Copies of this chain bind each other. A is one copy, B any other.
Amino acid sequence: MGRIKRIERVAALTKELVDNPLKLYSFTDFCKRFDVAKSTLSEDVQAIKNGLVAYDLGTIETMAGAAGGVRFIPYHSRIADTEFLQDLAVRMAEPERILPGGMIYMNDLVLTPRILMRLGEILMNHGQNEAPDYIMTVETKGIPLALFVARAYNVPLVMARRESRITEGSAVSINYVSGSTKRIQTMSLPKRALPKGAKVLIVDDFMKAGGTAKGLMDLVGEVGAEVVGVSVLVATKEPIKKMVAEYFSLFVLNDIDDVTKSIDIQSNF
A contact residues vs B (CB 8 Å cutoff):
1-2, 4-12, 14-16, 18-20, 34, 44, 47-48, 50-52, 54-55, 57-58, 99-101, 103, 105, 107-108, 111-114, 116-117, 139-141, 143-144, 147, 150-151, 154-159, 161, 166-169, 190, 192-193
Residues of B within 8 A of A44 (CB): 7
Most chain B beta-carbon neighbours within 10 Å: one of A8, A16, A52, A140:
A8
Known contacts A108-B156, A166-B99, A190-B105; is-contact A6 B8 (Cβ 8 Å): no
Q: State whether B169 touches A111 (Cβ < 8 A).
A: no
Contact across chains for B14 and A154 when beta carbons are under 8 A apart = no
A129 CB → nearest B CB, Å:
21
CA distance A55 to B101 in the complex (A): 53
Taking a contact as CB atoms closer than 8 A, the residue among B14, B34, B117, B158 that contacts A15 in the complex is B14
| Residue contact A158 to B111, C-beta cutoff 8 Å | yes
B169 and A54 contacting across the interface, CB-CB below 8 Å: no
Do residues A144 and B169 form an inter-chain contact, with CB atoms below 8 A? no
Inter-chain pairs besides A1-B54, A103-B166, A143-B143, 17 sampled, C-beta below 8 Å: A4-B54, A6-B7, A7-B51, A8-B47, A10-B51, A14-B15, A15-B18, A15-B51, A103-B167, A105-B167, A105-B168, A107-B158, A108-B192, A108-B193, A111-B156, A113-B157, A117-B151
Whether A11 contacts B52 by the Cβ 8 Å rule is yes
Please state the number of chain copies in the assembly. 2
Q: How far is the CA of A108 from the CA of B100 in the complex (A)?
A: 38
Q: Are B167 and A113 within 8 A (Cβ)?
A: no
Is B57's CB under 8 angstroms from A12's CB? yes
Separation of A14 and B8 alpha carbons in the complex (Å) = 10
